[in-house]
Amino acid sequence: MSRRISTLAVHAGETRPKPFGALTTPIVQTSTYTFEDTAAVLAFMEQKAAREVAREQGGDLPLRDEYGRYSNPTQKVVEAKLAALEGAEGAILFASGMAAITTTLMTLLSAGDHAVVVQDVYRRTREFAADFLPRFGVKTTLIPIGDRQALERAIRPNTRVIFGESPTNPHLRIMDLEHMVGLARQREILTVMDSTFATPINLRPLSFGVDLVVHSATKYLGGHNDLLAGAVLGSHRLVTAVEATRGLLGGVGSPHDAYLLLRGLKTLALRIQRQNDNALRLARFLAPHPKVARVYYPGLPSHPDYEIARRQMKGYGGVVSFEISGDKEDTSRFVDHLQIPYIGPTLGGVESIVQQQALFVSLDPEERRASGVSDSLVRYAVGVEDADDLIADVAQALDAV
């Protein structure tokens, strides 16, 4: 029977009955798994070989656990749930979102290859692509999001990957996935999309033909600011290749973080619906305010990618970025007068979190300007608080500017 996404968030990937009759999937807190005798070891190795053959053919076979760097029962349940939510054949967990991104790119790219990366991606992703990959003989071209001609011009005969993000951080630009995928398929190029800000509730890039989706599960998927995790999702063939690299590089998460992520996923649909609603209301309040110079939110008709967002997304996300009508000090005064959100560098949890983003980029004004983030930009990641309270709090903080 086909299940809707809210039901999948609660039940997908979990067996019935669970071990010991528990309602909650247990944390299997072990680094290694033992075998009854040598015959069991030989049987396991035969099953492992059969699984490798199946994966080469695009399928998969169940396999018992051997060592914690390769798999864990709690982790497997979370991976199955994430795959169901994203509409993927397979999913694998990592210790962080950056571990997921770096391992994926190092799997798909080799010396002599070229990658196209959207300039508006998370700055650490951009740094890895522009500064780290060249050390291994991989060249990268950064392109502005939304510039179709720039994307087409950037592609070379040796281009292997197009890496994008949607919505982007912090300006919330939206990629036209149909155009990107169509162009990539013509050239036999793989596409990878960071969908952290969207979550599978608002956008499922695989349904548009994207090859791999990555998430910083630390953010919305976990939802409570109490874990670090990342995920990669896609076909069995590609996920298996990334999984093999994870086994070499060791970026696997802990069983306890997997358990926390499993708990957070059960309320994902409820939280995202509330955060979508809160963010849209906040954006609509800010847009006409005389002390706000500009609002970046894809749910507003003024956003440059509004029509793409309407076509691709089921909701516009829980982050609103905006520029205060003033200088750096005015913006700091606004942030400091807010009473509900915490000041911090993350997003996606039940608590609202705000930041004057330029201050987290650099103390050097030139470096801040080069980053494309103005000193007056505020990134407000709304939580699940009452929207009227959030808006009233923003209003009084604007009065202080």
Q: Which residues contact 340 (CB under 8 A, 6 or more apart)?
A: 352, 385, 389, 390, 393
Strand partners of residue 192: 163, 212
- Three-state secondary-structure class, residue 190: strand
Q: Which residues contact 2 (CB under 8 A, 6 or more apart)?
A: none
Secondary structure tally for the chain: helices H, strands E: 16, 12
Told to judge if 219 belongs to the known catalytic residues of this protein, a careful annotator would answer yes
Q: What are the strands of the beta sheet with 230-234, ordered from one edge?
A: 90-94, 230-234, 212-216, 190-194, 159-165, 114-118, 139-143
Rounded to whole angstroms, what are the CA distances from 218 to 101, 158, 174? 13, 34, 21
Residue in 120, 122, 259, 271 annotated catalytic: 122
Residue in 113, 120, 176, 194 annotated catalytic: 194
Told to judge if 194 belongs to the known catalytic residues of this protein, a careful annotator would answer yes
- Check: CB of residue 382 under 8 Å from CB of residue 278: yes
Residue in 81, 160, 173, 219 annotated catalytic: 219
Residue in 33, 51, 60, 69 annotated catalytic: 69
Please tell me the distance from the alpha carbon of residue 94 to that of residue 251, in angstroms, as a whole number: 6
Please tell me the distance from the alpha carbon of residue 205 to that of residue 312, in angstroms, as a whole number: 9
Please tell me the distance from the alpha carbon of residue 364 to that of residue 378, in angstroms, as a whole number: 18
- The catalytic residue positions are 69, 122, 194, 219
